[in-house]
Amino acid sequence: MSPAEAQQRKAELRAKIAHHNELYYRRAESTISDFEYDRLKRELADLETQFPDVGGTTITGGGLPQNRSSTAAAANVFIGHNPTYYQSVFLSATAPAIESPTVQIGDDRTEGFARVKHRQAMTTLDNTYDEAELREFHARLAKALGTDDLGYTVEPKIDGVAVSLTYERGKLVRAVTRGDGEEGDDVTVNVRTIRGLPQSLRGAPIPAVIEIRGEIFLGDEEFRRINQQQEEAGEPAYANPRNLAAGTIKQLDPKLVASRKLEVVLYGLGYCEPAVVDSQSAYHAQLKAWGLPVVEQFWTVRGIDAVWAAIQELDRTRRGFAYATDGTVVKLDRFEQQRHPKIGYRGMAADGRAEAARKLSPRWACAYKFAPDRAETRIRDITIQVGRTGALTPVAELDPVFLAGTTVKRATLHNADEIARKDVRIGDAVLVEKAGEIIPAVVAVLLEKRSAGSQPYAFPRSCPVCHTAVTRAEGEVVWRCPNPLCPEKVRRRIEHFASKASVDIEGLGEEMVALLLEKELIRTIPDIFRLKVEDLLPLKKSGEVWARNLIDGIEARRTADLWRVINGLGIPQVGSAAAKDLARTFRSLDALAVATEADLLRVGGFGEKTAAAVRAWFAEPTNRKLIRELEMAGVTPTPPAAASSALSGKTFVLTGTLPTLSREGATAKIEAAGGKVSGSVSKKTHYVVAGEEAGSKLDKARSLGVEVLNEAQFLKLIEGG
Ligand code: IVH
């Protein structure tokens, strides 16, 4: 490669990495796998060593490429587990540097959150996929410490979202994302909704202040459940649990966060005053003793061969873990050795000054990552799926290939932009991968195998089903078929209405919907309720019993639960949970149809986006017509059982900040249960719901002997009916 070519390739790689950093950290998306991303960084790091930039200093990572799930420290942050060992890290004045993304690690900070400085930086971590490099890591440490007999811990590397929890005198006071490593977003309210996380430490010793680090994640089952809801709501599925966890922890609505079962696992030590343990293995035991959620398994071993054996064993057991594990983290066990002057942090000079703070990564730890399960195959065709909301999703039809226990025949290509960016073409040899991700994805095109006559893929400009020109809303990547009468949209809408998740009409599955449409016995959802046995008889030989059963199944659903009917309408943003909220609040389709945005915003947990989506749906004349026709066809949905009489007429006063509920959310719940909310406490008040920093209202309640509830007790009262 000539120097000029190298400069150009470096520029390309930097742009690509920057693009993926933005997606991964700020938008909780990823369109390439970690493995692919690590490869880009490795290539750039190699080029930077071989062909240094001219006209400035390139700040390179030094050593191995760093993980994107990590961030560098910035200036003026302290490193070390115990204040007595702190070394402050300052940026020394250097020539203007060309900042390379091999060291410029992502920043997850987003709008809408308060920023909090970490007491101790959250640094990055070197990673490798190569056994020889892992052995070099050990060789460096052995040389520095003058012995080969070193104690290590081998831990799972959790593929989640990094978080730092501060406990003061044993109480959880703050949860902060990594941010840029120096300062992150305050996500305390969201983290408090994690059920498995104790708000106080148990037992002793309890440090005055400790930063405990870990990863927030979503289990596979919960991931599937949420994706199913997405599907019900006509929204695209999330690609993998990590991105969904990252997106969830950055939600501004804690109620939404609470509705998803986030979990957390803790393994890391930040600032701690006074010090409580002197090794990583003792720290794991201490975390467990405090009652905190910890890794299922870790190994304490001596020497690199034992490290390697532990890694092999972890590779065999990791699929049974609650979280996705994409590798291991090997750490020098004794803190004293971690702090040894020859070890410490890469990027920090002996005087504690960092030549560039962003270079900081521990020399005492190394991530060994498992290469993902991937396989080579060929794209036979690219087909376009049209969803219920008209979204066009490109799908690669593959030569079947065996991958991680299943035969893969199709893989998502995400959207038109992604196809263009990767230049994926029909006939291409490609690599498909399943790594933590449940949906297989095309991760790379093998350009060297591309046939001479291949043509770039032209994303359709019109709907492949009804040929209406497709449209794309500003700022969106999804192209949609705008035709409300598109037969594919109609089919999927009817299917969805009749499905188990919605109105649950027995006997009316995908095939039957398709058949009824084909025979022109139905065109719309209300048509289902106009079907007669005679209409169905010609469809099947000796079909009378069958036809009767189907009609009975339909009859039985004329009075389906209101929430099921609302869910079945396929309103964007509205899945079963939101449908239940709407049913409870409005109690009829007519009332819902005329609800204003303000009314909708009062529904517990409804944000502006959902309220606007509901409003827009009912503003659409074809949708209003659908509601009218459902009524005319004799559909009379059943509202939820009347609010518990125990609460009807009861007066509540809200005071202080509740951990998860907003004031509006709590009000909506009370009203939905038949209660009233009042602004001041009197003898007539039945309950005062008090949160943090509750003031005089709480005092008054106490003096009047009014029952005071915290949020949990309140929810129990409301939900327990
Ligand atoms: S140690 C300074 N241990 O992966 C040491 N990190 O890719 C850095 N991670 O920043 C952290 N599991 O967010 C450590 N067992 C584990 C981990 C782990 C997951 C994350 C963490 C870290 C990133 C590095």
Cα–Cα nearest to 73, from 432, 481, 468, 346: 346
Rounded distance between C-alpha atoms, residue 101 and residue 20, angstroms:
11
Rounded distance between C-alpha atoms, residue 12 and residue 542, angstroms:
67
CATH value at residue 700: 3.40.50.10190
Longest dimension (CA), the chain: 90
Cα–Cα nearest to 666, from 605, 707, 583: 605
Q: Which of 10, 16, 41, 157 is catalytic?
A: 157
* Atom in ligand 1 nearest the alpha carbon of residue 71: 10
What pLDDT band is residue 63 in, cutting at 50, 70 and 90?
very low
Three-state DSSP class for residue 383: strand
pLDDT (0 to 100) of residue 104: 45
CA atoms within 13 A on the CB side of 433: 19
**Cis peptide, bond prior to residue 274, ω within 30 of zero:** yes
Q: Which burial class, exposed, middle or buried, applies to 99 when counting CB atoms under 10 A from its CB (0-12, 13-18, 19+)?
A: middle
Does residue 553 sit in the same domain as residue 655?
A: no
CATH value at residue 428: 2.40.50.140
* Model confidence pLDDT, tens digit, residues 587-604: 999 999 999 998 998 886
Active site residue 157: yes
Whether 268 is in a domain gets the answer no
Evaluate if residue 361 carries a pLDDT over 70: yes
- Mean pLDDT over 18-47 rounds to 81
Atom 4 (ligand 1): residue with closest C-alpha? 69
Whether 54 is in a domain gets the answer yes
Does residue 671 sit in the same domain as residue 620?
A: no
Q: HEC states along 195-240?
A: CCCCCECCCCCCCCEEEEEEEEEECHHHHHHHHHHHHHCCCCCCCC
Rounded distance between C-alpha atoms, residue 23 and residue 17, angstroms:
10
pLDDT (0 to 100) of residue 72: 32
Paired tokens of 586: 């409005």
Which residues contact residue 262 at a Cβ distance below 8 angstroms, ignoring those fewer than 6 apart? 190, 193, 194, 216, 217, 218, 245, 248, 249
What pLDDT band is residue 605 in, cutting at 50, 70 and 90?
low
| Residue of 25, 158, 311, 348 to test ligand 1 pocket, by largest number of atoms within 8 Å of CB | 158
Three-state DSSP class for residue 407: strand
Contact 346, 361 (CB under 8 A): yes
- Angle, to 10 degrees, between the axis of helix 304-317 and the axis of helix 131-145? 140
| Residue 373 Cα to ligand 1 middle (Å) | 22
Evaluate if residue 216 carries a pLDDT over 80: yes
pLDDT (0 to 100) of residue 493: 94
CATH value at residue 491: 1.10.150.20
Does residue 26 sit in the same domain as residue 76?
A: yes
* Model confidence pLDDT, tens digit, residues 369-402: 988 778 899 999 999 999 888 999 999 999 998 8
Cα–Cα nearest to 525, from 501, 500, 495, 502: 495
Pocket residues for ligand 1 (CB within 6 Å)? 67, 69-70, 123, 125, 155, 157-158, 162, 215, 267-268, 329, 362, 365, 367
Whether 497 is in a domain gets the answer yes
| Residue 215 Cα to ligand 1 middle (Å) | 8
Whether 585 is in a domain gets the answer yes
* Atom in ligand 1 nearest the alpha carbon of residue 124: 10
Does residue 528 sit in the same domain as residue 601?
A: yes
* Model confidence pLDDT, tens digit, residues 508-554: 999 999 999 999 999 999 999 999 999 999 888 767 888 999 999 99
Q: What mean pLDDT, rounded, does the chain reach?
A: 86
Q: Name the strands in the sheet holding 161-168, side by side, starting at the edge strand that comes first in the sequence.
A: 171-177, 161-168, 209-218, 262-273
- Boundary-marking domain end, from 35, 69, 103: 103
One DSSP character per residue, 444-471 reads EE-GGG--TT-------SB-TTT-PBPB
Evaluate if residue 623 carries a pLDDT over 90: yes
What is the DSSP pairing of strand 325-332 with strand 87-89? unpaired
| Residue 120 Cα to ligand 1 middle (Å) | 15
Q: Which residue has the higher pLDDT, 64 or 249?
A: 249
Does residue 547 sit in the same domain as residue 667?
A: no
Evaluate if residue 31 carries a pLDDT over 80: no
Atom 5 (ligand 1): residue with closest C-alpha? 125
One DSSP character per residue, 532-555 reads -HHHHGGGSTT-HHHHHHHHHHHH
Domain of residue 403 covers 374-449
Evaluate if residue 562 carries a pLDDT over 90: yes
* Model confidence pLDDT, tens digit, residues 445-472: 999 999 999 999 999 999 999 999 999 9
Number of Cβ within 10 Å of residue 148's Cβ equals 13
Q: In which residue are the tokens 């979990």 written?
A: 263
What pLDDT band is residue 278 in, cutting at 50, 70 and 90?
very high
Does residue 669 sit in the same domain as residue 549?
A: no
pLDDT (0 to 100) of residue 672: 74
| Residue 531 Cα to ligand 1 middle (Å) | 60
**Which contiguous run of DSSP H or E holds residue 39?**
helix 34-50
* Model confidence pLDDT, tens digit, residues 607-617: 888 899 999 99
What pLDDT band is residue 93 in, cutting at 50, 70 and 90?
very low
User: Which ranges of 620-678 does DSSP label H, i.e. alpha helix?
Assistant: 621-632, 663-672
| Residue 125 Cα to ligand 1 middle (Å) | 7
Query: Number of structural domains, the chain?
Result: 4
Whether 637 is in a domain gets the answer no
- Mean pLDDT over 337-344 rounds to 93
CATH value at residue 90: 1.10.287.610
pLDDT (0 to 100) of residue 481: 96
Whether 661 is in a domain gets the answer yes
Atom 18 (ligand 1): residue with closest C-alpha? 157
Does residue 492 sit in the same domain as residue 615?
A: yes
Paired tokens of 512: 């039957």
How many percent of the chain have pLDDT more than 70? 88
Does residue 421 sit in the same domain as residue 540?
A: no
| Residue 556 Cα to ligand 1 middle (Å) | 55
Calculate the alpha carbon distances from 561 to 57, 383, 426, 504 in Å: 67, 37, 46, 10
Atom 13 (ligand 1): residue with closest C-alpha? 162
| Residue 163 Cα to ligand 1 middle (Å) | 10
Rounded distance between C-alpha atoms, residue 437 and residue 456, angstroms:
27
Atom 17 (ligand 1): residue with closest C-alpha? 157
- Boundary-marking domain end, from 103, 130, 156: 103
Q: Which residue has the higher pLDDT, 539 or 311?
A: 311
What pLDDT band is residue 55 in, cutting at 50, 70 and 90?
low
Per-residue burial over 34-60, b if 16 or more Cβ lie within 10 Å, else e, is bbbbbebbbbbbebbeebebeeeebbb
* Atom in ligand 1 nearest the alpha carbon of residue 68: 7
Evaluate if residue 259 carries a pLDDT over 60: yes
Does residue 688 sit in the same domain as residue 577?
A: no
Which residue type does 539 have?
L
What pLDDT band is residue 251 in, cutting at 50, 70 and 90?
confident
- Boundary-marking domain end, from 423, 449, 475: 449
Paired tokens of 455: 């043509």
pLDDT (0 to 100) of residue 228: 77
* Atom in ligand 1 nearest the alpha carbon of residue 127: 7
Whether 330 is in a domain gets the answer no
What pLDDT band is residue 313 in, cutting at 50, 70 and 90?
very high
pLDDT (0 to 100) of residue 54: 66
Atom 12 (ligand 1): residue with closest C-alpha? 157
Does residue 512 sit in the same domain as residue 604?
A: yes
Does residue 690 sit in the same domain as residue 561?
A: no
Give pTM, 2 decimals. 0.60
Instruction: Give the lowest-confidence range in 123-137, 156-170, 567-581.
Output: 567-581
Evaluate if residue 150 carries a pLDDT over 90: yes
Does residue 427 sit in the same domain as residue 562?
A: no
Per-residue burial over 243-253, b if 16 or more Cβ lie within 10 Å, else e, is bbbbebbbbeb
| Residue 157 Cα to ligand 1 middle (Å) | 6
Could you give phi then psi for residue 485, rounded to 5 degrees?
Answer: -100, 10
- Mean pLDDT over 168-189 rounds to 94
One DSSP character per residue, 320-357 reads GSSS-EEEEEEEESBHHHHT-TTSSEETB-TTS-BSSG
What pLDDT band is residue 84 in, cutting at 50, 70 and 90?
very low
Atom 8 (ligand 1): residue with closest C-alpha? 125
Q: Residue 118 gets which letter from DSSP?
A: -
pLDDT (0 to 100) of residue 77: 40
Q: Which burial class, exposed, middle or buried, applies to 629 when counting CB atoms under 10 A from its CB (0-12, 13-18, 19+)?
A: middle
| Residue of 25, 41, 70, 211 to test ligand 1 pocket, by largest number of atoms within 8 Å of CB | 70
Q: Which residue has the higher pLDDT, 184 or 29?
A: 184
- Mean pLDDT over 606-627 rounds to 91
Which residue type does 206 have?
I
Cα–Cα nearest to 660, from 218, 112, 252: 252
Whether 221 is in a domain gets the answer no
Q: Is the dihedral of CA 57, 63, 67, 72 positive or negative?
A: negative
CA atoms within 13 A on the CB side of 667: 13
Highest-scoring range by mean pLDDT, 6-15, 156-165, 570-579: 156-165
Instruction: Give the lowest-confidence range in 215-219, 424-428, 646-650.
Output: 646-650
**Cis peptide, bond prior to residue 205, ω within 30 of zero:** yes
- Mean pLDDT over 633-651 rounds to 81
Instruction: Give the lowest-confidence range in 34-38, 145-149, 477-481.
Output: 34-38
653, β-bridge pairs: 678, 688
